[in-house]
Amino acid sequence: MKSVLAFSLFCVVSGAVVRAAEVLRPRGVVLSKASFYDPTRDFNCLDGSGTIPFSYVNDDYCDCQDGSDEPGTAACPNGFFHCTNAGHVPLNIPSSRVNDGVCDCCDASDEYASSSNCVDTCRELGRAAREEAAKQREERMKGYHLRQSMIEDGRKIKKEAEGKIEELKKEKEEAEAVRNEKEEVKKTAEEPEKIALEKYQAVEEERKAKIDADKKAKDEAEAREAFAHIDNNGDGVLTVEELQSRQTFDTNRDGQVSEEEARFYLKQEDSMSLETFITSGWLMMRPVYLMDKRMFTPPTTTPAPLEEGLTPPPPVFDDEDDTDEDEEDYELHDEDHEDILKEDEQKEEEEEPKYDEDTQKLVDIANEAREQFDEADRRVRDLVRELRSLEESQEKDYGPEEEFRVLEGNCYEYTDREYTYRLCPFDKAIQKPKSGHGETRLGQWGEWSGPEENRYSRMLYSNGQACWNGPTRSADVKIYCGTETKLTGVTEPNRCEYLFFLRTPAVCTKPEEINEDESSEYTHTEL
């Protein structure tokens, strides 16, 4: 169409909607570009690719390379159609969707010449969208107010911690003074105790040495007596025959002492001197000898119990069937056994070191001083620990206004199909399989890791448990606004790298003020 068009014709051809509040423009043109479409002049393609008579605008033929001459038809493949969507949000759609039978614009303006029965639903949609937006704004406002109290609480905790630190420092100083005092008392008490104990030790060693010497002499006397007893002819030497003459050495209880049995006790020699007997022979013979002499009376069945330090009883020379004779074996007399045990116990009791009264008094005083020092020392160490933990906590960054501080000490959980995840802010992130196996440490509190302009929108928990054939585990926590602090999701985008989503009022900013004029923006705003 090349004719010069009258304005009224333009209105018809271009399909402009005439409304009091609107600027007249061809169909599909956004308000901000209305001035480029002046029906009294030729139209300049918006990309400068050409100039055409205004009548070519929306004539269903694509003249401009950028499609700007056909805003209201589907003629240009790269053009855009603008729907005003009065009552809701304006929209730009690819011009290929104009009159394609699908309702894209809620005001139905994209289907002005199609058979589809699109109706204007913008008002209802707009109302619903505004209601939703208002609800979200309200939530945001609620979150913002909660954030204010989080800030207040955080600052209060910080101040209290500062006070507590001062208090603890004073307490620590006092406790250190007490500890030093107790240390002096302890040293003073330990000096005389040390001297007394050394003295006691010397006396004790002497006493023990005497006991040992007495025992040795007694053992030797016992050995000499036994030797004399076994040495039938008194020639100072024990022979095979002399041992054979004593049933004592009938190890296998067959009624006679074989040469083999006798030689066993003579250490496979023909004879044994008194000297060898005292140093080693007696040790072998003593159990059977005493068994016969003191503890047992025939018949017995059980071999004599061994006294500590003695050699085991000799092997039984099983050269004959001895089952019948078993009945003639010796029997242990329990009373004798108990008597011997009692004797041994008494001996041990007697040997138990007991301090003399004066030494004991010094030991008691020193013990008491040590206990008091230990207690004072423990108190100092407890205070140091408490102080360190508070100071460490004070050094952490709890957000620009201390708003995150109240989250410390709490843990938040999220459970998916396989795991329960736990986030304890400023402490750690944990993964626990639902199957009940042990926990996996995903990371320890590291740092704020949001982008420069929004640093407090992300937290990083790093240095978690090593991943098999992979990095050490870490958890990235994305934080967004909500009216309660809650872990809303956890994913593992890369193996052993976890992404947590934490909702909290701590990041809720104040919603923009909306006045009546601005809110009516929805009905008029053009993109």
468, 493, 513, 515: residue in contact with ligand MAN (rule CB under 6 A): 468
Residue 475 touches ligand MAN, criterion: CB under 6 A: no
Minimum distance from residue 458 beta carbon to ligand MAN (Å): 20
We find the least distance from the C-beta atom of residue 483 to ligand MAN, in angstroms, to be: 30
Q: Alpha helices of 47-121 — where are they, by DSSP H?
A: none
Supply the minimum distance, in Å, between the C-beta of residue 497 and ligand MAN. Answer: 9
Asked if 495 is part of the footprint of ligand MAN (rule: CB under 6 A), the reply reads yes
Query: How many residues in the shown chain lie near ligand MAN by CB under 6 A?
Result: 7
Residue pair 71/26 in contact by the 8 Å Cβ criterion:
yes
Q: Does 496 bind ligand MAN (CB under 6 A)?
A: yes
Distance of CA 244 to the CA centre of its chain: 76
Q: Is 202 exposed, middle or buried (0-12, 13-18, 19+ CB in 10 A)?
A: exposed
DSSP per-residue codes, 310-371: SPPPPPP---S--TGGGGGS-EE-HHHHHHHHHHHHHHHHHHS----HHHHHHHHHHHHHHH
> 35: which residues sit within 8 A by CB, 6+ positions away?
none
Nearer to ligand MAN, 44 or 472 (CB): 472
- Stretch near ligand MAN under the rule CB under 6 A, chosen from 116-124, 296-304, 315-323, 492-500: 492-500
439 binds ligand MAN (CB under 6 A): no
472 binds ligand MAN (CB under 6 A): no
How many CA within 13 A on the CB side of residue 339?
Answer: 8
Nearer to ligand MAN, 467 or 499 (CB): 467
Q: Judged by CB under 6 A, does residue 148 bind ligand MAN?
A: no
Is residue 492 at the binding interface for ligand MAN, with CB under 6 A as the rule? Answer: yes
499 lies in the binding site for ligand MAN (CB under 6 A): no
Min dist CB 100 to ligand MAN, Å, is 47
Instruction: Return d(Cα 304, Cα 312) in angstroms, integer.
Output: 10
Residue choice 58, 84, 431, 485 for contact with ligand MAN (CB under 6 A): 431
Instruction: Tell whether residue 194 is a contact of ligand MAN (CB under 6 A).
Output: no
Give dist(CA 459, CA 415) in Å, integer.
20
The one segment of 49-57, 293-301, 490-498, 513-521 that binds ligand MAN by CB under 6 A:
490-498
Of 244, 420, 440, 523, which one interacts with ligand MAN (CB under 6 A)? 440
Beta bridge partners of 415: 420
Q: Output the smallest distance, CB 431 to ligand MAN, in A.
A: 5
- What DSSP string runs through 211-247? HHHHHHHHHHHHHHHHHHHH-TT-SSEEEHHHHHT-G
Q: Whole-angstrom Cα distance, residue 395 to residue 390?
A: 9
Closer residue to ligand MAN, CB minimum distance, 468 or 493: 468
| Interacting residues with ligand MAN (CB under 6 A) | 431, 440, 467-468, 492, 495-496
